[in-house]
Structure 1
C-alpha cells in the first residue's frame, strides 16, 4: 500500500525523527536520506536530527539560512509517503528474521521513490509566467518501522516505511530552491502503488516465496486468512470504531485511525515481541508458517505476460470510458499482471500498442480506433433518430411537484415533447436530477408507458434509482443486456439511463442497438 499524507506543522513533522529514534532492539531501523535534492544539500547516509529539524523549519541544514523563498506559518512542511507490505510478508519477516525480505522491501520502495522523484515539479512565476517546470529532484528521509500501533499494549507485525518528503526542490534553471508541486504526484498515487506492489512481488518471488494475487494486492501463499486476521488487530479496531460511528468513507477511516492510535510502547524488546507473536499461533498454524519461511517447496513461477496484462487493461478501462490517461492503463495492467509483469515491461508493451495519443492538461491520454468507431456509431444512431418519433406525452402537462424550479420543469417538458429517439438531459451534481426522474416516472405511469430504469453501477441503480427515485425494478445496464425479461418490459416504452456519462461506449452502443426494434425512446 502507498498512502500520501500532507504535513502542515513543523513540530508535527519533527516527530517523524523522534518517533524513529528508537531503532535499537530490532523495533525500528535507522533513518536514511534519499533523493537527488538531499545529495545537493550534502545529506547522505544516516538522518541526523539537526539537519532534519532545520529542513522542517525551511532552513538549509548546512548554513541555517532560509531555504525556499516563503516561510508562512501555514506552509506545507512536506508529505509522508507511507509504503506498507501485505500482512503475510510482515508476519513471515517478523518471525523468521529473514533480512532478505527487508532488503527487498526497501529496494522496491527506493525504486518507486526514484520514479516519483523524476516527476517532481516547481512553479514558474518569473516574467509573468504561470506554469510548472519539472525539476526531477526531491529531499526525503526514510524511516522503516516493523510494527503497528499497539492494541492492548502490544503491537502486531507491520513492516512499513515513512518516506518524509520535504516541500523543497532545486530549480536548476532559476538556480534556487523552491516549494515542490505535489498535486500531480498525489493524483498518480494509484499508479505508484501498483508499481511498488509489482516490484515487491517480483523481488519476493526471486527469493523463492510463492505469492497469491488478492484483488489489487497479494499475499504469500500458504497462510490462512484466519492467521493473518489474528495479526491485524489494529485494522479490526479501526473498522469496529468506524462501524460504531457509522463511518464508511475510506478517507474518513484513515483520519479515524490517526485520531485513535495509541503511542508505541518501547518497553518490549524485539525478542519479547517475537515470543508473544509465536505464542499467539495455534499448533495447526505453526507448520504452514514454517513451510512458508523455509521456502523448501519447489515453485512454478508464472510466465511473464505483459501482453495479456495490457490486453486486459485496454478492455477493462475502455469498457467504462472513451479516453483514458495512459497512466491509468498502466495501473490496471500492473494490478492485473501482479507477479507476472515488470513495471518496465508494462511500459514497453503500452508504448508499442497502436493507440491514438494526445496530451490533455499536461497528461498523456489515449484511446483506440475501435473506441472511436463505436462513438461514431453512437452519434449516427442519435442523428438517425432525430424527429422520427411521436412525443411521449403533453409537454404542457402540469407537474405534480410544484416546487420544481424553472430548469427542472423545462427538462420535463423537453423530455415529454421531444420527437427524438435519444433524449439527453445534463445537470451538475446537486441540481435535482433525482427529483426530475421522480416527476418523469409519474408522467410515464399516467401515460401507461412502460419504463425501465438503468444505471452503469449497482449503487446508482439499486440505490439512487430504486430507493430515491422510486423505480423499484431499476438495475444495471450489464444486467439488462443479458436479461430478456427486463428487455421485454422495455418494449414500446422508455429506457431511462441515469449517470449516462459513466457508461462506456461499448455498452452504450450495445444498449442502443438492442433497443432499436422495440423501444420508443431512450432517455439518458
Structure 2
C-alpha cells in the first residue's frame, strides 16, 4: 500500500545514504537502481534523469540546485523538508520477483514502476497545491511535485519486499510563478485512494504480463493466487517484529505502528551482500513448500480482460450495503476505493477513475450542496498518524444517494411528527420529589429533567459537551420515571459506554447491537408501551442503525432520548442524523461545565476538545499542575508515590498511554501494597501476572456469560490456586468468578 512519513530537518544525508545509495541495512548495497526525478516541479528546476547528491540536498532545503539560492524568500526557519511516500507491493508479488524466473522478475519490476508512476500522477493532480493569502486561505495550483523516487527490493529484516520511496520536497511552483511550501494536508487526505490505485494498477499490469490470478481484494490489496500463506508469513519477519512490539506496548493505532517501526529498526549492516541472501531465501521458501516449480505454476494461468461496469455493481455501490452503509455521504475518493476493491484485474487505475466519474452522474446519486457538505463535515481538523491535529481541507464535492436521503428525510419527519405523542409523561409529584432530593442540580439541568419527563415528545435530543452533567441529570429523570411506573432502558455503541451510562444514571443499559438483536427477535417481548430508551453518545450512531431503533420505538409507542455532543463526532459523521435532529427538534442544551470548578481548567479542556493540546499543556504548566521528571523511570516513580499518597485519602488511579508503562506502574503499586500488607498471601499466577486477594483488577473482554464487559473494574476477594480462578467483587457490588480460560486468554489485568 502507501505510507507517508515526514522528513525531519537534517535528514537529507540519511535518505541519500540509505535510500539513494542503498547502503544501509536493506542489504543490497550498490545493487539498487539509481533514483530518478519525477514531477512537473522538478522539470521547472531543470531536474531530470538520475538523482545526484548535489541536487537532492539543496532541493530538500528549499534551494535552487543550480544556484544554491533559496527559491522562496518566505521560508520558515523550522520548515519541514518534505515527505517520504512509500509504495509497497504485496508480499506474494515480492516473492515472485525475488524467487521466480528472471523474465517474471523483470516484468514484476516494470509493473511496479508503472503502478507507482500512475499513483503518483493521481496525487500530483489532486494534491500538488500551495496556499496564499492571510492564514493561507486561498489554494493555488502548481506545475506539480518536486520528487525523487528510489526503488528497493528488501525489508530491513532481510526479506524480499519490493517497494519504492518517493521523496516529495516541501516545495511547489505555483501558477502565479512563485515558489512556496506544499499544503501537505491534501497528501494525507488522498493517500488511501492513491494506495488503492497503485494496487489496482499493479494487479492489472502483472495480470497482463504474467497471467496470474488473485485472491479476494481486502482493504485494497490482494495476493497472487497459488502463493501459500505459510510462505507469505515466513517472509514477513519485519511485519511480525512490528506487530510483536505493538502487542508488547498494547497499542494498535497508525501512530503506534510508526513508533514500533522505529523501535524495531535494526542497526546498519553493510557487510551483507545479495549472494548471501538468495540461497537463504531459497532454503526458507522450500521449507514452507514454495519451490521454483511451484512459482512457475502461478504464472500463465489466465488472461484478465476488461469487462464493462455492470448495472448490478452500480446498484450494489449505491444501495443500503454500499457506500452509505456506514456513512451518509461520500466523495469520489470513496467511489474509487470501492471500485478498486470490486473491479477485476482487467481494469486499469485510469479506467477506474473514469468509471468513478461516470458513476457520480448516475440517477441514483445526489450531489450535495456546499451547505449540506459543510454540515456533514463534523470536524474542522484532521488527526495525523503522529497524533498531531491540523486544520482539515474540504477539498472534494460530497455526494449521497437518493435512497439515503429518503431514509434521512423519513427519519427526521417521523421524529418531528412524534412531538405531540404524549408518551412517557411522569407525575408532577414524582418530579417534585426527585428534584427535592437533588439540590445540586443547576437551573439548566433542572430544566432538562422537567422537559424530558413532562414534554411527552416521542423523540428528544439532549446536547452537551463532556462535564455538563448529562448523566447526572438523566439519573434524576430516571428517578421520576421509575416513581411514575415508566420503564427506562439505555444503550450505547460500546459496552463500556453502556456500563458508564448505567453506573452514572442507574438506567439498565446494553449495547445498541444487543438491544437491536432483541428487538428484531419476534420471540422476545420487545419494548413496553410508554417506556423510554436513552441512547448515549447518539452522535456516533449511524443513520441506518438509528432509523431502525426509532422505528421500533414508534411501533411500540416508546419514547427515545438521544444524548450526545455534536462536536465529538468522526470527521465525516456515520450519519449526521443526530445533528439534523438537533436542528429540527427543540433540543435540550447543557452548556455549563460542572465537572471542573476552576474556570482555567474548563478553558484548558476546551483547548483539548479543539485539538490544541500544546496550548492546553501550557495552561496546566502555568498552574503548576505538571510533574516533570528527568527520565521516564523517575517520572513513573513519582507517579506511583503520588498515587499511594492519594489512595490513602480516597480512590485514585494512574493513567499511562503505553502498555509497558501501565505494566510497570501496576508492578510498582503491587510492591507497595505487599509491603504495607494490602495483599493476601495466596496468589494465582497466569501468563507471568500474579493476582491475590486485595488486588484491583480490570476485565478486558466482553463476556455476557460471566457478567463482565471490557472495562469492568473490581477487587479480588478470593483466589483458588488449584482451579486457577479468581472471585472478584465488581464496582456494582456483584461478585463474579473469573475462570482459568478467561485469565489465560489475557483478559484480566491489574487496575492501579
Q: TM-score, normalised by structure 2?
A: 0.62
CA change 1:302–1:420 in 2 (3 A) is farther
Query: How far is the alpha carbon of 1:2 from its aligned partner?
Result: 0.8
CA change 1:162–1:464 in 2 (3 A) is same
CA–CA separation in structure 2 for the residues paired with 1:148 and 1:399 = 69
Counterpart of 1:464 (choices 468, 488, 497) is: 497
Confirm whether residue 416 of structure 1 aligns to residue 416 of structure 2: no
1:210 is paired with a residue whose SS is coil
Query: How far is the alpha carbon of 1:313 from its aligned partner?
Result: 3.3
1:28-427 to structure 2, matched below 5 A, reads 28-96=32-100, 97=102, 98-119=105-126, 120-125=128-133, 130-150=137-157, 155-173=158-176, 175-207=177-209, 208-216=211-219, 217-283=221-287, 285-287=289-291, 290-296=293-299, 298-299=301-302, 301=304, 304=307, 306-307=309-310, 308-315=312-319, 316-337=322-343, 339=345, 341-343=347-349, 344-345=351-352, 346-354=355-363, 355-357=365-367, 358-359=369-370, 360=373, 361-393=394-426, 394-396=430-432, 397-398=434-435, 410-427=447-464
Determine the structure 2 residue equivalent to 1:474.
511
Query: How far is the alpha carbon of 1:125 from its aligned partner?
Result: 1.9
Query: How far is the alpha carbon of 1:73 from its aligned partner?
Result: 3.1
Determine the structure 2 residue equivalent to 1:17.
16
1:223-243 Cα offsets, whole Å, 9 max, x none, are 232221111112111221222
CA change 1:497–1:281 in 2 (3 A) is same
Q: Which moved more, 1:163-172 or 1:506-515?
A: 506-515
Q: Is the 8 A contact 2:7 2:81 kept in 1?
A: yes
Determine the structure 2 residue equivalent to 1:7.
7
CA change 1:438–1:114 in 2 (3 A) is farther
1:70 is paired with a residue whose SS is coil
Query: CA-atom RMSD, angstroms?
Result: 3.1
CA–CA separation in structure 2 for the residues paired with 1:323 and 1:182 = 24
Give the total of aligned pairs: 512
CA–CA separation in structure 1 for the residues paired with 2:298 and 2:263 = 40
1:424 is paired with a residue whose SS is strand
CA–CA separation in structure 1 for the residues paired with 2:71 and 2:5 = 22
CA–CA separation in structure 2 for the residues paired with 1:239 and 1:55 = 35
CA–CA separation in structure 1 for the residues paired with 2:547 and 2:47 = 58
Q: Is the 8 A contact 2:230 2:288 kept in 1?
A: no
Q: Is the 8 A contact 2:435 2:476 kept in 1?
A: no
CA change 1:34–1:467 in 2 (3 A) is same
Query: How far is the alpha carbon of 1:117 from its aligned partner?
Result: 0.8
| Residue ranges of structure 2 left out of the alignment (5+ in a row) | 374-393, 563-752
CA change 1:363–1:100 in 2 (3 A) is same
Q: TM-score, normalised by structure 1?
A: 0.87
CA change 1:187–1:296 in 2 (3 A) is closer
1:60 is paired with a residue whose SS is coil
CA–CA separation in structure 1 for the residues paired with 2:190 and 2:436 = 47
| Residue ranges of structure 1 left out of the alignment (5+ in a row) | none
Determine the structure 1 residue equivalent to 2:557.
519
